[in-house]
Structure 1
Amino acid sequence: MRYAIYFTPSQDEPLARIAANWLGRDPFGAATRPVEAVGELSAAEVAFHTASARRYGFHATLKAPFRLAGNETEASLRAALDSFAEGTQAVIIPRLVVGQIDGFFALVPEAPVPALNRFAGDVV
């Protein structure tokens, strides 16, 4: 089995609500609705550019899909994640902008955030 580690804002966070409206899918309730035109993009263009994101829902990938080492279990992964989360300080990203990563649009830091880079290394 493969695992991945993602972050998503809680259901009631404004960013989660805005993303769900824009993508046309609420990942918490799985409700869908037709996407709407945005600015100069038609509804069809928005649907095309958000198809992958709509399938997965609004999230940040902390650790891409991986397989557990042979001597590890899902329970040990959960315990390690709990311990990591308890001992890790929040990372503040001052400003996000729209950028592209591997051919898809993403919210990315406007400028380098050393604490975020340290966090990414610690997650791995």
Structure 2
Amino acid sequence: MSYTRFAIYYLPPKGDLAEFGARWLGWDAATGRPVDQPDLPGIEAITATPRRYGFHGTLKPPFRLAGGRDADALAVATAAMAATCAPARCEGLHLSRLGRFLALTPTGDTTGIARVAAACVADLDAFRAPPGEDELARRRKANLSPRQEALLTRWGYPYVMEEFRFHLTLTDRLPRDDMDRWFAAVEAHLPPLPAPFVLDEVALVGERSDGRFELVQRYALTG
């Protein structure tokens, strides 16, 4: 299949957490198939944006291939990066409010996760086409700090390197009055969360013509 963009994700391995995420969002990125969501009024609307991407933690944000680069070479480079990158772990995951969004976020020391994300961003940067002016303008509407502006210019995204915060998104931006209700709904459907949380593989994913992302290949971190 031909993809419009690629990214490097953490996709939970097959199991209860992956099944929960796919069902909650209504899309299984690992299989590239829709999944029936829980019978909760409004859930389809509040998961519309994250559904496109699947249940994941971003390590290298979506990018278009640079000229002269192809998907096969990207896969080879991702495998080489993974072979030199050691796994990471932290105490676990928990349900959090990130502003007006809900997500699973790590607890404890996250320096190892940040190290893996930085390797994905830097080691594969030669495959990233520079963002267009429209994309840059859209990013800058977020009132970026000087450092975020510098990261946007260098890496094509403002929330990488020391600005990176690992998270697995569960909702779109929610109305303030609905935050508690949806927090409780997620809690009621969550399986036991991993403790510790181990990031020992990365996933190359591609954006399909319908705008949804799906797994291309997983790579174990063996460095």
Fold similarity call, TM over 0.5: yes
Q: Distance in 2 between matches of 1:115 and 1:101?
A: 21
Amino acid in the other structure paired with 2:104: L
Match of 2:69 in 1: 72
Q: Distance in 1 between matches of 2:83 and 2:57?
A: 19
**Superposed counterparts of 1:63-102, under 5 Å:** 63-101=60-98
1:15 and 2:17 equivalent?
Answer: yes
Match of 2:213 in 1: none
Match of 1:51 in 2: 48
Do 1:35 and 1:47's aligned partners in 2 also have CA atoms closer than 8 Å? no
Q: CA deviation at 1:120?
A: 1.6
1:107 and 2:104 equivalent?
Answer: yes
Q: 2:36 aligns with which of 33, 37, 41?
A: 33
- CA RMSD, aligned part only? 2.4
Structure 1: unaligned runs, 5 residues or longer: 37-42
Structure 2: unaligned runs, 5 residues or longer: 122-223
- Secondary structure of the structure 2 residue equivalent to 1:78: helix
Relative to the length of structure 2, the TM-score reads 0.45
Q: CA deviation at 1:16?
A: 0.6
Q: Distance in 2 between matches of 1:20 and 1:102?
A: 23
Do 1:23 and 1:35's aligned partners in 2 also have CA atoms closer than 8 Å? no
- Secondary structure of the structure 2 residue equivalent to 1:44: coil
Number of residue pairs the alignment of both structures matches: 117
Q: Distance in 1 between matches of 2:99 and 2:71?
A: 29
> Identity of paired residues, percent?
35
Structure 1 stretches of at least 4 aligned residues deviating more than 4 Å after TM superposition: 100-103
Q: Distance in 1 between matches of 2:17 and 2:102?
A: 16
Do 2:91 and 2:109's aligned partners in 1 also have CA atoms closer than 8 Å? no
